Chain A
């Protein structure tokens, strides 16, 4: 998947690869992977199925 992560173009198979040290429980319990995805704030990224063109931000 080709996505934008904090303004940089990245190609990853899963959102977990973008969030080392933050993706942890993988099932929406720990809130470590919270990010802004496609303009929606406070999304638990682990519950988001990544698509080409997604814009992910962990820094404002």
Chain B
């Protein structure tokens, strides 16, 4: 049988290795030149005799038992594991679409290539991922003006069970001693004009209660993550993340999901989910240790989601002319009253540009009160028409 795994991060590598170990023919498809995903970017050494690793390859559609790849090419599968990961959710503020603002993930990716894009940098957002980003920038010689966490860490006190089951996560924090000295909680960047950055103290709903000015040439921002679930637009989900059963099965037949597409809980949870998904995809019982690691990791992931949930006060950070949709240059004042996402898009063009709403759709929905139904796109990556035209006719073998 053939198992196809999409995404070569911690989850995908574990799924591919496990499925191959169980005797399946495995193809690992990834859009990057080397395995590792964003977490291990360029530092993973992936090689397995039972796995064919297709690098620099983008998948764009799942159709019954076929995965469509750019090229074009088609891959038949008996089971598919979606391990496509997640990307930073930015929140808009005046100046976020100007020079010197990038996502925390972008800063991390650049840092892994030895590049810090600024000299005086601020990291602003929510969640523990801000700390390694700040540490990486500092190690490259940048001056860390501040690390601003919008949430309040005392919320962790209510999560004793998750903390007790995941003590190693707390121990990791000690490694960030030097950047923790620059950490301010209930704080966020709420505007940037040139190098003048407006920093606000926030109330519990993230409404600014006081302001001050800092000087920085780079702001790195990230308010949690949005999963890349485009390959299975019809799969059931809760919030943004794919629903899976205890064998990582999605609601779509023969399609499994592992890693951050199911929730954010770190690389160890992703790898454990990959082991479970890889075994189940190859029709084996998943190892007990992996199932137990997933159970423990999910406790942490759910606590993380609660503690670092985006609070509605962010909507007061915008001015009328603040950009919401970067692709189509739609500002707050351009957003109409609408009853649904479709009407919102058609009347304002928000989420209709090149990124197809990946960056702005969720924010636009929250700004207008329109129900957000997850990221559902029919085609996962833009494809030139010539490539579609090169596809063989349906009725030919």
- Give the interface of A toward B (CB within 8 A): 13-14, 16-17, 20-21, 23-32, 34, 42, 46-47, 49
Contacts and interface: CB of A to CB of B under 8 A. Distances in A.
Interface in B66-104: 87-88, 90, 97-103
Contacts of A13: 114-115
Contacts of A14: 110, 113, 115, 117
Given A17-B117, A20-B100, A32-B326, A25 B88 contact: yes
A18 to B, nearest CB: 11
Contact of A27 (B106, B327, B353): B106
B177 to A, nearest CB: 27
B110 A42 contact: no
B355 A29 contact: yes
7 contacts: A14-B110, A20-B100, A21-B101, A27-B105, A29-B355, A30-B358, A32-B326
A24 B110 contact: no
Interface residues of B, number: 33
Interface string B99-139: 11111011111100111010000000000000000000000
Contact of B327 (A16, A17, A28, A31): A31
A16 B354 contact: no
The secondary structure that dominates the B interface is: loop
The secondary structure that dominates the A interface is: loop
A29 B358 contact: yes
A27 B104 CA distance: 11
Which of B31, B108, B117, B228: most chain A Cβ within 10 A?
B117
A30 B31 contact: no
A24 B102 CA distance: 4
B327 A25 contact: no
A26 B106 contact: yes
A47 B109 CA distance: 11
B187 to A, nearest CB: 22
A46 B106 CA distance: 9
B88 to A, nearest CB: 7
Nearest to A29: B87
A25 B359 contact: yes
